[in-house]
Structure 1
Amino acid sequence: MHNDFSYFHQDQHVNDKHVQSLVRFYESGCVPREKYGIGVEIEHIPVRYGTNASVTYDEPHGIRDVLNDLAPLYDSSMEYRDGTALLGLGRGKIAISLEPGGQVECSLGIMKSPEELNDLYAQFRADIDPILAKHSIRLINYGYTPVSSARDIRIIPKHRYAAMNEFFGRLSGYGWNMMRGSASTQVSFDFSSEADAINKMRLAVAVGPILGYFFRNTPFFEGKLNELPLLRQHMWESIGTGRTGINTGLYDEDYSFERAAIDALATPLMAADTTHTPDAQRQGVWTASFENAADVYPDRELNEYEINHIISTHFTDVRLKNFIEMRHWDSLPIDRARLLTDIVVNLFTNPDELSRLTNELSGIRALDVQETKVQIQSRGAQALPYGKSLEFWREFLHADYTGEDIPGDSENSSIFQD
């Protein structure tokens, strides 16, 4: 930990009480291994039968109608609305939410083992598929919408996304593409201590691009064939603005929860949100191109809503919350998502596998990770991540699926054959 606490604060414009709030939030995630849980999020692109165009929220027979029809099957106390617009549903370990372009996200957890994933996902599909069919919609698992252009997809009526839309529209060539046209798979797991969390984050950032290549699933971009093995990575890192890619300072010897908190708080919020800040000078949601948490939130400890909002404005490869979230992957059909989950859970919660991975990647630097990303992006199957072949890494990581059959998976293979 850095000895001069005020030095970071003065130079990076953060609030001491805010920093301690985030540190305590991270520390609340420290649990013994027997209490570890797993979370999986799978985003889906809704497309129209016959055209395969992306389906938006408020068009006739659109995603709004799907959610309204689905609502009676879910817990009314878990509904999420922005104003009067229904944007999310929940029941037990299943939560349904929407990404900016109307992509349907299914969040599953907290699970105690990967075996739960298939059953929970089957429940989600059993509920939603008949309603989708009624509205001539189907969900596909690709990293990017197959035929539509991002500029033609209207964002859902959510104040946060309106602010993000304005922010990315001004600062990023790929921001709208990521918001409106992309879909991902994310896997989350727990840690037992600060040291354990930092070690797992470093390892996850290092192996993420390799697993991203093995599980790549983006055959199309803006209606054309996609040639980039890691398109999702390319879009996010092109956004820049200090909130994507490798967590700042992660591979420094003195990296800590405190430094993670300072980095999260120092970055402009992108979308300021004081809807749960009764003592704020300004109420609402707005685009914050330069304002960070110290500008927006009062000089006091942050509440949980404020903490989660601040963290959610960062899109690093691996995101630290009161758990660790890996964010590298394209949207995957359930069989592939299950295999990926098995691999991740084994690597990061099995002590023997974690030790093996730690030894293999000992001494890795941020520059080495960047080099690996560039190699995979430019050389594909000929890349040598950390000096070793992809075949070595496939065996080492137990990644039996290589992605060579994209786009011909069983769920999506007939996409242009309606």
Structure 2
Amino acid sequence: MSTRQVSDSNEPVIESRDQLVAPMQKGEKPRERWRIGTEHEKFVYRTDDYRAPSYAEQGGIRDLLLALTEYGWEPVIEGDNVIAMSGPDGTVSLEPAGQLELSGAPLENLHETCQETGRHLAQVKSIGDKLGLGYLGLGLWPDKTRAELPIMPKGRYEIMLRHMPRVGTMGLDMMLRTCTIQTNLDYSSEADMVQKFRVSLALQPLATALFANSPFLEGKPNGFLSYRSHIWTDTDAARTGMLGFVFEDGFGYERYVDYMLDVPMYFVFRDGKYIDASGQSFRDFLDGKLPALPGEKPLESDWIDHLSTAFPEVRLKSFLEMRGADGGPWSRICALPALWVGLLYDQGALDAAWDLVKGWDMDGRERLRAEVPKLGLDAPLPGGGKLRDVAAEVLGIARSGLAARARLNDAGDNETGYLLPLDEIVATGKTPAERLLDLYHGEWAGDLGRIYQAKSF
């Protein structure tokens, strides 16, 4: 989630619909300026007892953040608290229960992305060795109840924690007990955005299956392969889901603006503080009738904030954000952007991917999304067959797209090697979650504590 640092009362007030469309239009870039942004989260635990550390305790989350100054990172302050660190590799920030996230810098190629990930992991592991902290690469806390988890001192989280139980049964689980990998990608025009949005939204369930890595809850199997993805099905229906309108004729920036205007608000940021506007209407805000700020109209930054509070499977801001994958190890942090860059950043690959999915009906897409958290690669495709039936073809398309990009590292390798972890999953037919379940029922003999040694960074 985004981290706000300042509010500027001198910035423009929104007076026209053009200002609502502007962030998406400003995202348009020529191909040579397309970049790759990768975000990844990890669970932080005490190595002596596997407890999730609190923010303020000695050797806890605050100390972890501040220790990054050793590597040139600068603190981001909210009130009296350090809530993030800013540096050349992007921003290191906190999810609600102390999950540590790197929101990486916009980079030119996947070699740089994987190097960035490696630098970050090396830094936090070195700090963790000193503080007695470890980092777990999964999509869901495997053994923690909500009550066992700390809450980080960020204003927007206080508002969301109050609001979530009003709109769904699993929103608190989403905030406190999940981790993800996400990829942010560019587009050149409205038409290019539309094609990329449709392809990535249709194929997001495949990413969920390939990266499924959350089969345990509170110490035992939960009946799902991606429980993290299942959690999103009952978090807040007004701001999640598959967005059927994306596939309708005439979809573009204007239609997404209409969608966002119908998404209830969370907050307004003023004078360094978050004001609770949960459940209120941005349309009322535009008319100066927001109950939380009567008589005021929104600033352009309020709209940017609001765009960050919808959580569909693919999200549009000034870039497209892929949101379907569970957290996982270094190799899969590199593999997720490889999948989407391969599919979306070469026109031939993008066209081939669209040809594969354009005949799927919306009911079929929704059914696939609903079934994939439990069934993984065995989830039913629209029109018949299973998701595994197209997985190898999709990876082949992505590989061709990466090969066409011809972005080489110092050794002369292109970017296709980053797909190898996904090739193995498709070849064996077993998702990461199924491998974990095999270990749990086999070698681990039901001892889930073994997961900390097996799946830590």
Give the TM-score taking structure 2 as reference length.
Answer: 0.80
* Counterpart selection for 1:275 from 256, 270, 279: 270
Q: Which amino acid aligns with 1:336?
A: R
* Counterpart selection for 2:80 from 84, 99, 103: 84
User: Partner of 1:10 in structure 2?
Assistant: none
Answer whether contact 1:54 1:145 (CA < 8 A) is retained.
no
Counterparts of 1:116-127 in structure 2 under 5 Å?
Answer: 116-127=112-123
Q: Which amino acid aligns with 1:392?
A: D
Counterparts of 1:9-408 in structure 2 under 5 Å?
Answer: 17=15, 19-76=17-74, 79-247=75-243, 249-269=245-265, 271-275=266-270, 284-296=273-285, 303-386=299-382, 387-398=384-395, 399-402=422-425, 403-404=431-432, 406-407=435-436
Answer whether contact 1:376 1:385 (CA < 8 A) is retained.
no
Quick check: 241-250 or 31-40, which moved more?
Answer: 241-250
* Separation in 2, partners of 1:142, 1:321: 27
Q: Which amino acid aligns with 1:150?
A: R
| Per-residue deviation, residues 91-122 of structure 1 (Å, max 9, x unmatched) | 11332011111100012220111111221112
Deviation, structure 1 residue 75: 4.0
Distance change (3 Å), C-alpha of 1:290 and 1:334: same
* Separation in 1, partners of 2:362, 2:19: 27
Answer whether contact 1:143 1:182 (CA < 8 A) is retained.
yes
User: Partner of 1:415 in structure 2?
Assistant: 451
| Per-residue deviation, residues 148-179 of structure 1 (Å, max 9, x unmatched) | 11232121111100000100133321111111
Distance change (3 Å), C-alpha of 1:98 and 1:16: closer
Per the alignment, in what secondary structure is the counterpart of residue 270 of structure 2? coil
CA RMSD in angstroms comes to 2.5
Q: Which amino acid aligns with 2:219?
A: G
* Separation in 2, partners of 1:107, 1:327: 13
| Per-residue deviation, residues 61-113 of structure 1 (Å, max 9, x unmatched) | 2101111222343343xx32110100111211332011111100012220111
Per the alignment, in what secondary structure is the counterpart of residue 88 of structure 1? strand
Q: Which amino acid aligns with 1:49?
A: T
Answer whether contact 2:213 2:226 (CA < 8 A) is retained.
no
Answer whether contact 1:214 1:401 (CA < 8 A) is retained.
no
Per the alignment, in what secondary structure is the counterpart of residue 246 of structure 2? coil
Distance change (3 Å), C-alpha of 1:321 and 1:234: same
* Separation in 2, partners of 1:233, 1:54: 22
Distance change (3 Å), C-alpha of 1:304 and 1:133: farther
Answer whether contact 2:378 2:388 (CA < 8 A) is retained.
no
* Separation in 2, partners of 1:232, 1:382: 18
Name the % identity: 26
* Separation in 1, partners of 2:181, 2:106: 16
Q: Which amino acid aligns with 1:221?
A: L
* Separation in 2, partners of 1:86, 1:267: 30
Answer whether contact 1:39 1:108 (CA < 8 A) is retained.
yes
Give the TM-score taking structure 1 as reference length.
Answer: 0.87
Q: Which amino acid aligns with 2:392?
A: E
User: Partner of 2:418 in structure 1?
Assistant: none
Deviation, structure 1 residue 249: 1.7
Structure 2: give runs of 5+ residues left out of the alignment: 1-12, 289-295, 396-421, 426-430, 441-447
Per the alignment, in what secondary structure is the counterpart of residue 109 of structure 1? coil
* Separation in 2, partners of 1:406, 1:87: 35
* Separation in 2, partners of 1:38, 1:383: 29
Quick check: 49-58 or 39-48, which moved more?
Answer: 49-58
Per the alignment, in what secondary structure is the counterpart of residue 110 of structure 1? coil
* Separation in 1, partners of 2:118, 2:346: 27
Distance change (3 Å), C-alpha of 1:123 and 1:376: closer
Answer whether contact 1:19 1:265 (CA < 8 A) is retained.
no
* Separation in 2, partners of 1:73, 1:176: 33
Quick check: 81-90 or 145-154, which moved more?
Answer: 145-154
* Separation in 1, partners of 2:31, 2:107: 14
Answer whether contact 1:213 1:230 (CA < 8 A) is retained.
yes
Answer whether contact 1:150 1:222 (CA < 8 A) is retained.
no
Per the alignment, in what secondary structure is the counterpart of residue 344 of structure 1? helix
